[in-house]
Amino acid sequence: GFHMAGDGKLAAILEPNKETCQMVGNKYSMSNIWDYPSVGQIARKLEEQNIQPIFAVTKKMETVYAELSKLIPKSAVGVLSDDSSNVVKLIVDAYNNLTSEVIMAHDALPNFISVKYTSNCAGGEKPSDRGKCDNVNIGQNVTFTVKVTADKCFNSQSFLIGPLGFNEKLKVTVQTRCKCECDDSNKPHPHCGGQGTVVCGSCSCNTGYLGQRCECKLGQKDEASLKAQCRKDNGTECEGKGDCVCGRCQCHSTEGGGNFYGEHCECDDEHCEKYENKQCAGHGK
């Protein structure tokens, strides 16, 4: 078998393993202080160093190490003969199995960034946290598609991505555009009547013009004065039932399909008292 985190309790060793090499005189110096590393810690360190372990075990221990191998990516298990004469063949076979398996992985990331892989391999069309292709032959090309998703705004975040067992890595830098950073021209735009520029989908009017499409020329009045013309008795602009355009109210439609009307959109034909469910008892409007 093998030791793992927690076994140190039998010797009253409770301090977790720190994942650092503590060698003194070519001997490990923390065996009486630190617990054994966990399988996760071993797997992480092997991945960081691009090491692909091969477990050569007896037939009796094959099942145990086969389960362990499932927890350590890019690892293999081989069964030794009674006299260990097949050790070379075991290593060659295990190496061939490892090299036929391609696994894409990336650095640990904050929870607001996710990475998903798809590939052109069998079963690779379903997005997964790790891209994997089995039975890859020498000279065969496999393609991975990587999708990076950001769940919130941030300045910049970088991480490494690449196949396990190889030293080559690709550095990916992710930046978000959460502010208005549209690439608009500074020239007057026809959408704004030639009197303004388009900035992120809306008009920024030249001095002396206003309105959704810069259709109002201020002349002798300022913007505040024009908006004041749309308020009855200093109340709500167009009674909340229209838009103030160049100092005049453009009234909205009513819920019944008619229109509000009047200088300040104060009138409509749908709110007279009803008799027998008929406006004006059906005798007027």
Share of the chain above pLDDT 90, in %: 13
> Domain of 28?
7-99
Residues 240, 274 within the same domain:
yes
Residue 19 lies in a domain: yes
Cβ 94 vs Cβ 76: under 8 Å = yes
Residue 224, classed as helix, strand or coil, is helix
The whole-number pLDDT of residue 183 equals: 66
Residues 68, 17 within the same domain:
yes
Mind spelling out the 3-state secondary structure of 128-183? ECCEEECCCCCCCCCCEEEEEEECCCCCCEEEEEEECCCCCCEEEEECCCCCCCCC
Residues 110, 153 within the same domain:
yes
What number is the average pLDDT over the span 118-125? 81
- Minimal CA–CA distance to 163: which of 227, 99, 217, 208? 99
What number is the average pLDDT over the span 67-92? 87
- Phi, psi values for residue 241, rounded to 5°: -120, 15
Does the pTM of the predicted model rise above 0.85?
no
Residue 41 lies in a domain: yes
Domain count, the chain: 4
Residue 131 lies in a domain: yes
Residues 23, 87 within the same domain:
yes
Two tokens, residue 200:
């992120």
DSSP characters over 66-128: HHHHHHSTT-EEEEPPTT-TTHHHHHHHHHHHHHT-EEEEE----TTEEEEEEESSTTTTS-B
The CATH number assigned to the domain holding 144 equals: 2.60.40.1510
pLDDT at residue 47 greater than cutoff 90: no
Cβ 42 vs Cβ 72: under 8 Å = yes
The CATH number assigned to the domain holding 277 equals: 2.10.25.10
Residues 94, 107 within the same domain:
no
pLDDT at residue 269 greater than cutoff 70: yes
Residues 15, 92 within the same domain:
yes
What number is the average pLDDT over the span 68-78? 87
Cα dihedral across residues 65, 67, 71, 72: positive or negative: positive
Banded model confidence at residue 182, pLDDT cuts 50, 70, 90: low
Residue where one domain finishes, among candidates 42, 75, 99: 99
Residue 1 lies in a domain: no
pLDDT tens digits, 152-162: 888 889 999 98
pLDDT at residue 46 greater than cutoff 90: no
Mean model confidence pLDDT for the chain? 84
Two tokens, residue 127:
């997005």
- The Cα 156–Cα 171 span in angstroms is 13
pLDDT tens digits, 203-252: 888 888 877 788 888 776 777 788 888 888 878 889 888 888 888 888 98
Residue where one domain finishes, among candidates 111, 142, 174: 174
- The Cα 195–Cα 213 span in angstroms is 8
